[in-house]
Structure 1
C-alpha cells in the first residue's frame, strides 16, 4: 500500500475522522475545569470529588495510553479507534446522567479508557494511511482541527454551564462522536502492524495499579486520614510502580523500552515535561476554581478568561517550532519554562478585589508565551533523541508523562499547599502558594532543559508542532 494522497477525497475524510475522534477527547479535557464548581454544588462530596472528577479521567488515560497504541498496532488501528469512540460515547452518556459523585467518577474512569484508545489511534490512522510525503501536512491539519476543539472548550463549557447544565458538557460528546464513527466506518481503511511479542498486559496492570494506589492515597488521606485502606493503597501503589520497570525489562514487547532512557537527552526532555506539565495541570485546575469560587466569575466568564492564553498558544506554537528547527531546542527549552513559571507566579495577584486586567491577564499572557516557547521544541527534542524505529514509542512515552504530570498535580498540589475547598468555598491563601509552587516547578524544568539538551540538536520537522501536548487542558497542548 503506497498510501492515500492528502488531496484525495478519502485522504481528506481520513483527517476529518481522526480530528473528530481525538477532538472529543481533547474537548472533554478542556471543558471540565470550568464546570467543577457547578458539579460540586449539585453533587456535593467536597473538594476530593472535584479532584477525582479530573483525576479519574487522567488516571486511566495516562496509564493505558501506551497499551491503546499497542492494541491498535496488533488488532487493527481502525477497529481499536472505533472501539474507543463507542466506549467514550457510552461513558459520556453516563457522565451526563450521573446521579451522584461516585457514579460520575466511575464513568470518568471509563471515559479515560476510551480516550486511551482514541488519542494514539487518531495519529496512527494518519501515519499508517496517508502517503509519506503528505504526512506532515496531514498532521498539521489534524493538529489545527483538534486544537480548535480544545481552544473552544472553556468557552463552550462555560456557556453550557451557565445557560443549561454542567451535564451538557458531557452530552455534547455524543453527536460529535457519532459523526466521527460514521465517517470512520465509511471512509477509513484498516491497517495493522502485526506487532511481535506478547501484549504487555502485566506492564499495563502495574502502572495502572501503581498510579491508582498513589493517587487514591493522596486524595483521600486529607479527607479520611491515614487508615488501613488509604495507607494500604499508598504502599500497594508504590510497590506496583517500583515493579513496573522490572516488568518492562523482561517483557517481549514492553510498553516503554527501557533502552530509550539510556539517552540522557530523552530522559532530560521527559523530566522537563514532568516539571512543566505538573505546574500546568495544577495551576489551571486551581485557577478555574479561584475565578469562580473566590473572584465570583460565572462559568462563561471563567472560560473566556483563558482566551488570551489559548490564542497565544495557537498563534505562536508553530512559529516557535519553526524557529527551533533553525537554532536548536536548547534555548527555547531553557527560556520557555522560566517564562511560563514567571507567569504562574504573577497569578498570585488573582485574588478577591483584583480586576481581570491587573490580577489575571498579565499572568495568563506571560504563562501562555512561556508555554508557546516550550511546547514544540520539547516534543521535537524527545523525538530527535531516539533512533527512527523508536520514534513511536518515544512519542507515546512522552505523551504519557505529560498526562501523569497533570494527574499527580491535581492530587498533590492541593495537599501540599493546604487547600480544603469545595462547593462554593473560596480557596483562600492556599491558591497563592499553589501558584508559586507551580511556577517554581516550571522554572526547574528550564534548568533541566539547559543541563540536558545539547546545542544544535536535530529535529524532525514533519512532526512539528508537538500536537499531542498542546491540544490538552484548557486549549494548551499541542502533539
Structure 2
C-alpha cells in the first residue's frame, strides 16, 4: 500500500487568528456601502456638486478592481502576515485621511488609497485561511465564517452608516475604520502566524497600472457626462483613451508566458457571459442604491438612519434568494435558467423604480422593487460564480474567482458613474413641475429605466450564451477568490 503524505500540522492559534482575518474582510465589505448613506450629508458639508458625488464611491471600487489581481502576489512576495498587517495599517491611515478630509479632493484621494489597500487585504485574508486550516472540515467552517462576514458587510454598512451619520457625523463612517483596523493590527501582531517572504515572486506592476489607468479613463469620461454632452470631447476623449489603455493591457496579457489575467478564461462562452451577468447585477444594485439614498433623504426627507433601515428588505431578499439557489435549486435546474430568471426579476424590480414620481410611496413602489431586485441578484451571483470557477485548471481556479470579484468592482465603478451622469442630465433637462423634487425624481426614474433596458439585453445574452449544464456544488463561494495565492502572475517562474 502506498504511504500517504503526512497531513500538514495546523497552526495552533488558527481560530483566534481567524478573528483578525474576519475583521480585515469586514472592513473591505463595509466600505463598499457605509459611505452611501452619508453622501448627502458629506456633499452638503464639503460643497461638491451632484456630478462629482459618485467619485466618493468609485474612487474606492476603481482601485480595488484595478489592483485586486496583483494583491495576492504582494502577499506572496512580502509574506501573508506582513501583507495583512501592512494592509490594515494602510487602510487605517487612508480612512483617517478620508474621515478628516477638509475638501472633496482629499476625501476622494483617501478613498482611492483605501481601495488600494483593500485589494491587498481581500486575497491575503482568503489565502491565510487556506494555509492555516489544513483539515477539510475545519477549513469549511472557517470559510463559512468568512463568507458570513463578507455577505453581511454590505448590510452592516448601510445601517451603521445611517446611524453614525445621524447620531455623530458622516466623518465617523470613515473614522470608525481606524478603530477596527488598528485593533485588528495590534491583535494580528500577536495572533497571526509568521510566514516567509518570497523576494523572487515578481510583481506585474506594468499590467496593474494599465488595468487601473484604463478603468479610470472610462469612469472619468462617464462621470463628465453629468455636466457635458456625451458627444463632448471631455466625455468621449477619456473613454477612448481608457479603451486604448485597456487594449494595451489585453495585448500585454496575450503575449505574456504567465499573465496576470489569463485570457484563456474568456474562451469559454458560458464563463464570459457569467462575468457579464455578475457585473450587470452589481451595476443595478450599486447604481440604484445611490439613487435611492438621495431619493429617501432629498425627496422624502428621511433621516440617514431611517434610510439605512429602509434598505434592509433588499439585503434580506438577497440573502434568502442566495440561500435558496445554492441550497436547493442549483442541484436541480440548469445554470442558464437560474441566472436568466435572476436577471429578469432584477429587471422587473428596476422597471418599477422607473415609474417613480412624487406620488409614489415606499410601500407600493420602492419596497416591491427592492424585493424583486434582491431576489434577482441572489439568484444571479451564486450560479454565475459557480460557472466561472468550474472547468478551469487548478492553476487558474483562484484567478477565475478573483476575476469575478474584479467584475463586481468594475460593475460598481462604471455603473455608479454612468447612472449618476444619466440622473443628473435628466434632472437638469426636466421641464415639468416647478417643484425641484420632481426634477430629482425624474432623474432617478430615468436612470432606472436605462438599467432595466440594459438588464433586458443581458437576459437575452444569458439565454443565448450560457450552456445548459448544471452548476457545481464544489465551487468557491461568491464571497471571495480562494487559492489566489497559488496562481501564477506575469513573469512568474515555476
TM above 0.5, yes or no, is yes
1:23-78 CA deviation, whole Å, 9 max, x = no partner? Answer: 01211111111111101111112013211111111111111111112211333222
Q: Which has the larger radius of gyration?
A: 2
Q: Does 1:202 align with 2:206?
A: yes
Distance 1:331-1:365 versus aligned 2 partners, 3 A rule: same
Shift of 1:209: 1.2
Distance 1:100-1:398 versus aligned 2 partners, 3 A rule: same
Distance 1:222-1:347 versus aligned 2 partners, 3 A rule: closer
Contact 1:198 1:253 in 2 (8 A): no
**How far apart, in 1, do the equivalents of 2:251 and 2:395 lie?**
23
Task: Give runs of aligned pairs for residues 76-87 of structure 1, distance below 5 A.
Answer: 76-87=79-90
Distance 1:180-1:371 versus aligned 2 partners, 3 A rule: same
> Which residue does the alignment assign to 2:369?
363
1:174-232 CA deviation, whole Å, 9 max, x = no partner? Answer: 11112222332222224479598742111111111111122222213543678877665
1:376-434 CA deviation, whole Å, 9 max, x = no partner? Answer: 1111111114223211010111110111011001111233452457xx97623121121
Distance 1:190-1:420 versus aligned 2 partners, 3 A rule: farther
Q: Does 1:461 align with 2:474?
A: yes
Q: Does 1:412 align with 2:456?
A: no
**How far apart, in 2, do the equivalents of 1:194 and 1:324 lie?**
43
Distance 1:329-1:185 versus aligned 2 partners, 3 A rule: farther
Distance 1:351-1:69 versus aligned 2 partners, 3 A rule: farther
> Which residue does the alignment assign to 1:246?
251
Shift of 1:330: 2.4
Aligned to 1:44, which of 42, 47, 60?
47
**How far apart, in 2, do the equivalents of 1:312 and 1:228 lie?**
42
> Which residue does the alignment assign to 1:398?
404
**How far apart, in 1, do the equivalents of 2:8 and 2:405 lie?**
26
> Which residue does the alignment assign to 2:177?
173
> Which residue does the alignment assign to 2:287?
282
**How far apart, in 2, do the equivalents of 1:428 and 1:151 lie?**
25
1:308-351 CA deviation, whole Å, 9 max, x = no partner? Answer: 11122233423311224412422211111111111111123444
Shift of 1:127: 1.7
Distance 1:324-1:184 versus aligned 2 partners, 3 A rule: farther
**How far apart, in 1, do the equivalents of 2:196 and 2:422 lie?**
45
Task: Give runs of aligned pairs for residues 307-326 of structure 1, distance below 5 A.
Answer: 307-326=312-331
Shift of 1:84: 1.4
Q: Does 1:88 align with 2:100?
A: no
**How far apart, in 2, do the equivalents of 1:4 and 1:365 lie?**
46
Matched pairs, number = 464
Contact 1:342 1:366 in 2 (8 A): yes
Q: What's the TM-score once normalised by structure 2's chain length?
A: 0.87
Aligned to 1:374, which of 369, 374, 380?
380
Contact 2:54 2:416 in 1 (8 A): yes
Unmatched tracts of structure 1, length 5 or more: 470-479
Unmatched tracts of structure 2, length 5 or more: 1-5, 429-435, 482-494
**How far apart, in 1, do the equivalents of 2:453 and 2:177 lie?**
36
**RMSD of aligned Cα (Å):** 2.5
1:108-150 CA deviation, whole Å, 9 max, x = no partner? Answer: 1111111111112211111222115132221111111233332
> Which residue does the alignment assign to 2:3?
none
Q: What's the TM-score once normalised by structure 1's chain length?
A: 0.90
Task: Give runs of aligned pairs for residues 110-121 of structure 1, distance below 5 A.
Answer: 110-121=113-124
**How far apart, in 1, do the equivalents of 2:50 and 2:466 lie?**
39
**How far apart, in 2, do the equivalents of 1:385 and 1:76 lie?**
30
Contact 1:91 1:107 in 2 (8 A): yes
**How far apart, in 1, do the equivalents of 2:369 and 2:277 lie?**
21
> Which residue does the alignment assign to 1:185?
189
Distance 1:231-1:363 versus aligned 2 partners, 3 A rule: closer
Q: Does 1:61 align with 2:73?
A: no
Distance 1:4-1:85 versus aligned 2 partners, 3 A rule: farther
**How far apart, in 2, do the equivalents of 1:99 and 1:336 lie?**
43
> Which residue does the alignment assign to 1:108?
111
Q: Does 1:29 align with 2:32?
A: yes
**How far apart, in 2, do the equivalents of 1:34 and 1:4 lie?**
46
1:70-115 CA deviation, whole Å, 9 max, x = no partner? Answer: 2113332222222211111101001111011111111111111111
> Which residue does the alignment assign to 2:484?
none
**How far apart, in 2, do the equivalents of 1:397 and 1:420 lie?**
35
1:257-310 CA deviation, whole Å, 9 max, x = no partner? Answer: 111112222112112122222222211121111111122221111111111111
**How far apart, in 2, do the equivalents of 1:442 and 1:212 lie?**
24
Aligned to 2:14, which of 11, 16, 20?
11
Contact 1:324 1:377 in 2 (8 A): no
